[in-house]
């Protein structure tokens, strides 16, 4: 075995659509062909049909970690690396490991396996994609905490859609296949409401189509060429900046544009920690970040944008101001005026 | 979400649709992007599960060559023999099962049959209260055949109209990576990996579109106006003085990249000088040429009219141009400022004025 392993992700739109089942079907087919395959991590959720599909597959035992007085079981990445199979099956790609684990996220464990030349089959739901976090919240009212940066999924060799109609999924939930009865009833009224499921399903289809297209299209035009877009995100310490970063990066990804983030640091910066969090969040999404010290934010933004061949500036809306200040321009208005030769996008903050 | 009171005609339509739904059979379609993707297996597997749950399921149509795993499944059902390759409708009406499995939706019946094409047979079954589960591949959907032929260079002989697929109560996508299809066959009839990927994308987007309309229909029928959607919807605001050509072209490119919708709208003004009128006409023509859905809006206030339209249409991005002669007047906010303040549900992208570059 040489080189990096291949990652295949089974993408669904909710718990219970059959991702793990499909993954296990493939694992069984591989085993029959004589491929050396092991289960690195499998989450049975008490589902009988799924558990039955693990028959005959070797499992690498999980490791137990103590935390907060109880013990948690996590995937034993080191043991899998030592066992070194051709293929490892790793359920729940978006999972966050218990504190004290060698790595924070399961997708980082998977990175280790791939780097060691092991192929990985994994599962995740569309709502765990970082770029869809705000959209998912708007649709469902749920702020998903366990997210995976889009670039990690983009680097997978394959993303396969596991589809099931919302009606069939709701039937499954009603029959108690997915959750225990009391949890099922609550689920049906909330996250699993038909309109929610339909919207999430559409997102999963569109995202899979996007992943297919990404693997089809030639790389983006060279940075210097005409028509190449460069997007600049102006981030601050305000909470809405997270939304702004996700949105700007998502548009940049779809347009195959470069993506930069800028923070203009005022001498009077109120919340440097929040700014640092946002900068590091942007880097986590593979956005190139810059910080400059200046006292005039709009002027600094316009100058930076011009010096860096930016074609589009992404900003949040200015905060509403008290009446007595309204005769003066807002930051947005001034940037708009100073950078009239560029496209400026004022991002919706989203609400429910 | 905002509650919206339906008008009487809408209510009547809803009641009628509801009544039809109660007596009619349900149609479920498995959609694949190419042969061997496994749609027949998935369809029969669904039949098996329904049978195990006590539903009366029979097979009404089978393909000639089936894979071994499908053959094992098929053996579990009662099969009504076909007549000259056509579904035996009369026998099915008499047998009247709860659910009939029809492998391959697109099929031309032999001359002299009751219906020319199989989908018409299925409509009759549904009308008589028999539910239908069927499977179809992208190359057999009539409205998709040009696009498929551009990718593969081939056109399938049999087809069914896309409208029939869209009328289904449920559709399910059968997705699999292209390499699994290539592995299984080594068959030269199968397109190459790149063509397969293109077909796959097309099938996924078709399904997403069907699902989007289902979502809209569901929300309408429940009197809910959603402000969100899963699809990017771009609205280009046309004014006589804006750089419409650039905004429309950018909107077009963005809509293509996002596989989203492109709309263009202008708010009617009565006292437009002839030169502006002419310019606006040119913008509207270009919008039409670029495939935008063009809307002419009437309203006393430019900003309010646009805002209302954008919300109604679940717009996610509004493209707006500088007019080129805005001078800041203290205490007086420009339309652009007012839009920015009021727009909570969508992004606003401001474009430079033609003369500004």
Chain A within 8 Å of B172 (Cβ-Cβ)? yes
Which pTM was predicted?
0.86
Length of chain A equals 352
Q: How much is the average pLDDT of B244-266?
A: 92
pLDDT tier, B158 (very low <50, low <70, confident <90, very high otherwise) = very high
Are A212 and B197 an interchain contact pair (Cβ–Cβ within 8 Å)? yes
As given in the structure block, the two tokens for residue B290 are 């670029």
Most B CBs within 10 A among A205, A244, A327, hence the mutation to make, goes to A205
Are B344 and A215 an interchain contact pair (Cβ–Cβ within 8 Å)? no
Nearest-Cα residue of chain A relative to residue B254: A255
Q: Domains along chain A?
A: 7-216 (3.40.50.300), 230-346 (3.40.50.620)
Model confidence over B86-136: pLDDT tens digits? 999 999 999 999 999 999 999 999 998 999 999 999 999 999 999 999 999
- Which pLDDT value is given to residue B155? 93
Distance from the Cα of B206 to chain A's closest Cα (Å) equals: 9
Question: Which phi and psi angles does A39 have, rounded to 5°?
Answer: -90, 115
Whether B2-224 shares its CATH topology with B233-356 is answered yes
Q: Is the pLDDT of residue B357 over 60?
A: no
As a CATH number, domain B233-356 is 3.40.50.620
Are A195 and B257 an interchain contact pair (Cβ–Cβ within 8 Å)? no
Q: How much is the average pLDDT of B147-156?
A: 93
Domain B2-224 has CATH 3.40.50.620: no
Nearest-Cα residue of chain B relative to residue A159: B177
Between B212 and B334, the more confident residue is B212
- Which pLDDT value is given to residue B191? 74
Among partner residues A194, A205, A256, which is closest to B208 by beta-carbon distance? A205
pLDDT tier, B2 (very low <50, low <70, confident <90, very high otherwise) = very low
Pairing label, strands A258-265, B2-3? unpaired
pLDDT tier, B348 (very low <50, low <70, confident <90, very high otherwise) = very high
Are B218 and A216 an interchain contact pair (Cβ–Cβ within 8 Å)? no
In the beta sheet, which residues pair with residue B224? B3
| Interface confidence: ipTM more than 0.90 | no
Cα(A139)–Cα(B213) distance, integer angstroms:
16
- Which pLDDT value is given to residue A226? 59
Average pLDDT for runs of 10 along chain A of length 352: 87 94 94 96 86 94 91 95 97 95 96 97 96 87 91 94 94 82 75 86 94 78 66 92 93 92 90 92 94 93 94 87 67 86 87 61
Domain locations in chain B as residue ranges: 2-224, 233-356
- Which pLDDT value is given to residue B1? 38
Cα(A145)–Cα(A128) distance, integer angstroms:
8
Give, for A290, the enclosing helix (H) or strand (E). strand A288-293
- Which pLDDT value is given to residue B22? 74
| Residue A30: C-alpha distances to residues A37, A272, A314 (Å) | 7, 52, 47
Model confidence over B287-314: pLDDT tens digits? 999 999 999 999 888 889 999 999 888 8
Average pLDDT, chain B: 87
* H helical segments located in A191-285: 194-216, 241-255, 272-284
- Which pLDDT value is given to residue B6? 57
Q: A322-330 — which CB contacts under 8 Å span 24+ positions?
A: A326/B331, A327/B330, A327/B331, A329/B328
**DSSP one-letter string for B38-98:** SHHHHHHHHHHHHHHTT--EEEEE--SS--HHHHHHHTTSEEPPPBTTB--HHHHHHH--S
Are B228 and A336 an interchain contact pair (Cβ–Cβ within 8 Å)? no
Among partner residues A194, A209, A341, which is closest to B208 by beta-carbon distance? A209
Among partner residues B176, B347, B351, which is closest to A160 by beta-carbon distance? B176
Axis-axis angle for helices A331-338, A297-307 (nearest 10): 40
CB B251 within 8 A of CB B292: yes
Among the ranges A52-56, B191-195, B228-232, which has the highest mean pLDDT value?
Answer: A52-56
- Which pLDDT value is given to residue A268? 84
């Amino acid at each position: 075995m040489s080189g990096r392993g291949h990652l295949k992700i089974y993408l669904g739109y909710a718990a219970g659509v059959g991702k793990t089942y499909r993954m296990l079907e493939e694992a069984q087919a591989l085993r029959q062909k004589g491929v050396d395959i092991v289960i690195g991590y499998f989450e049975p959720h008490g589902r009988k049909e799924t558990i039955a599909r693990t028959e005959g597959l070797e499992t690498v035992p999980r490791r137990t970690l103590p935390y907060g007085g109880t013990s948690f079981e996590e995937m034993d990445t080191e043991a899998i690396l030592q066992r070194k199979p051709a293929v490892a099956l790793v359920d729940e790609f978006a999972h966050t490991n218990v504190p004290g684990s060698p790595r924070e996220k399961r997708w980082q464990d998977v990175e280790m396996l791939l780097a060691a030349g092991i192929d990985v089959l994994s599962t995740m739901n569309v709502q765990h994609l970082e770029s869809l976090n705000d959209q998912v919240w708007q649709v469902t009212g749920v702020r998903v905490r366990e997210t995976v940066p889009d670039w990690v999924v983009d680097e997978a060799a394959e993303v396969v859609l596991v589809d099931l109609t919302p009606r069939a999924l709701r039937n499954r939930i009603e029959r108690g296949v997915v959750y225990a009865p009391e949890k099922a009833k609550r689920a049906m009224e909330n996250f699993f409401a038909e309109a929610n499921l339909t919207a999430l399903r559409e997102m999963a289809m569109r995202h899979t189509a996007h992943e297919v297209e990404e693997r089809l299209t030639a790389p983006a035009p060279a940075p210097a060429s005409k028509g190449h877009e460069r997007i600049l995100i102006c981030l601050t310490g305000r909470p809405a900046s997270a939304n702004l970063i996700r949105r700007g990066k998502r548009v940049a990804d779809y347009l195959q544009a470069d993506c930069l983030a800028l923070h203009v640091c005022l001498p009077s910066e109120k919340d440097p920690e929040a700014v640092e969090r946002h900068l590091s969040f942007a880097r986590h999404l593979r956005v190139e970040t810059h910080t400059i010290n200046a006292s005039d934010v709009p002027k600094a933004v316009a100058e930076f944008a011009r010096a860096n061949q930016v074609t589009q500036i992404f900003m949040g809306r200015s905060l509403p101001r008290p009446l007595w200040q309204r005769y003066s321009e807002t930051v947005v208005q001034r940037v708009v005026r100073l950078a009239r030769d560029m496209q400026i996008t004022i991002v919706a903050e989203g609400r429910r | 979400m905002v509650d919206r009171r339906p008008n009487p005609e809408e209510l009547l339509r809803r009641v009628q649709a509801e009544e039809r739904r109660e007596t009619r059979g349900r149609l479920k379609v498995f959609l694949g992007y190419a042969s061997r993707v496994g749609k027949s297996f998935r369809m029969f597997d669904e039949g098996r599960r329904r049978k195990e749950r006590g539903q009366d399921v029979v097979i009404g149509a089978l393909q000639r060559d089936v894979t071994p795993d499908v053959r094992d499944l098929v053996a579990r059902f009662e099969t009504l023999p076909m007549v000259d390759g056509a579904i035996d409708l009369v026998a099915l009406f008499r047998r009247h099962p709860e659910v009939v499995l029809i492998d391959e939706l697109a099929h031309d019946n032999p001359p002299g049959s009751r219906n020319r094409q199989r989908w018409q047979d299925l409509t009759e079954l549904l009308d008589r209260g028999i539910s239908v589960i069927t499977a179809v591949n992208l190359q057999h959907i009539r409205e998709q055949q040009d696009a498929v032929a551009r990718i593969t260079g081939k056109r399938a002989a049999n087809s069914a109209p896309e409208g029939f697929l869209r009328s289904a109560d449920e559709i399910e996508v059968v997705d699999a990576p292209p390499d699994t299809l290539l592995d299984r066959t080594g068959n030269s009839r199968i397109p190459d990996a790149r063509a397969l990927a293109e077909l796959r994308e097309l099938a996924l987007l078709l399904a997403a579109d069907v699902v989007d309309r289902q979502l809209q229909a569901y929300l309408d029928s429940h009197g809910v106006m959603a402000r969100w959607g899963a699809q990017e919807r771009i609205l280009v605001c046309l004014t006589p003085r804006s750089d419409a050509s650039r905004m429309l072209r950018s909107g077009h490119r963005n809509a293509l990249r996002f596989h989203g919708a492109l709309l263009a709208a202008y708010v009617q003004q009565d006292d437009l000088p002839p030169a502006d009128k002419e310019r606006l006409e040119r913008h509207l023509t270009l919008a039409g040429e670029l495939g935008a859905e063009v809307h002419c809006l009437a309203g006393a206030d430019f900003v309010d009219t646009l805002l209302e339209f954008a919300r109604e249409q679940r717009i996610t991005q509004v493209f707006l141009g500088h007019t080129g002669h805005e001078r800041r007047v203290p205490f007086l906010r420009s339309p652009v400022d007012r839009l920015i303040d009021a727009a909570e549900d969508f992004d606003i992208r401001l474009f430079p004025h033609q003369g500004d570059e």
